[in-house]
Amino acid sequence: MNLQEKILMQLRDLILRGEFEPGQRLAEAQLGERLGASRTPVRAALMALEQEGLVEANETVGYLVRRYTPQEVADAIAVRGHLEGMAARLVAEHGVSRQLQAQLQACLDEGDRALAANPLTYESYADYASMNDRFHALLLEASGNRALQRAVQLNDKLPFAPASAMLPMQSALEQDREWMHYAHRQHHMLFAALKAGEGARAQALAIEHTEVAQMNMRMALERRAETEQVMPAMRLVVGG
């Protein structure tokens, strides 16, 4: 994992947790100081977040946190589930080549190693996220459907729609670790369905896989709302 990937993970987590207000300017120098990094990896991470629809570029002030609603996120994840379900069914029906089997198995092994860490660190999380992106990209490419691939690329520009952007980030919480382990077991089950040529089962598993992401996102937004309610109360107590 390189520094840019780690910065990307951290910034995405901070945005999800509401550390930045919608419309707030994200200054590279201040972010670099906060995250202990130079401006170069911070700038690269901001560019990646722009592609994910979490920040937007402004000619005069740089990058701003994009406004989004929980419904917008839920809709994007639901669309991804159905698109990836179709891709999984096509791969199962076409048959899984030996090369694809080896590539997917390598992803599963890498995910197993990343999730062995306890507690999960940003490094282990980033390793898992990189594997997760590769696993989903392999399935999409193997589907052979160019229109489907373009549809996923378009959907990925919506907030928290990309595969790894949907993963939980509060890795210190045991419940989130359990969700990630469950999601990876789904990867294993999906791989088995693909090898067996079970198109309908592969499709159902891919759709169910994003239901875990929906649950994770709801939990994260609930925590964020609880924090936002507690902080004003704390300021009143201390006379702020």
Written as tens digits, the pLDDT of the chain (240 aa) is 567 788 888 898 888 888 888 999 999 999 999 999 999 999 999 999 999 889 999 888 889 999 888 889 899 999 999 999 999 999 999 999 999 999 999 999 999 999 998 887 778 888 888 899 999 999 999 999 999 999 999 999 998 888 877 665 554 556 667 888 999 999 999 999 999 999 999 999 999 999 888 887 777 777 777 666 544 443 344 444
Residues 49 and 151 in one domain: no
The amino acid that residue 154 corresponds to is L
Residues 133 and 212 in one domain: yes
How far is Cα 135 from Cα 214, in angstroms, rounded to an integer? Answer: 19
Domain that holds residue 158: 70-219
Which of residues 65, 92, 110 is at a domain's end? 65
Which of residues 40, 65, 90 is at a domain's end? 65
CA 138-143-146 angle, to 5 degrees, is 105
Nearest alpha carbon to residue 222 among 22, 81, 77, 70: 70
Residues 123 and 139 in one domain: yes
Q: Is the residue at 224 inside a domain? A: no
Q: How far apart are the first and last CA of the chain?
A: 41
Residues 196 and 149 in one domain: yes
Local structure of residue 173 (DSSP, 8 states): S
pTM attached to this predicted model: 0.82
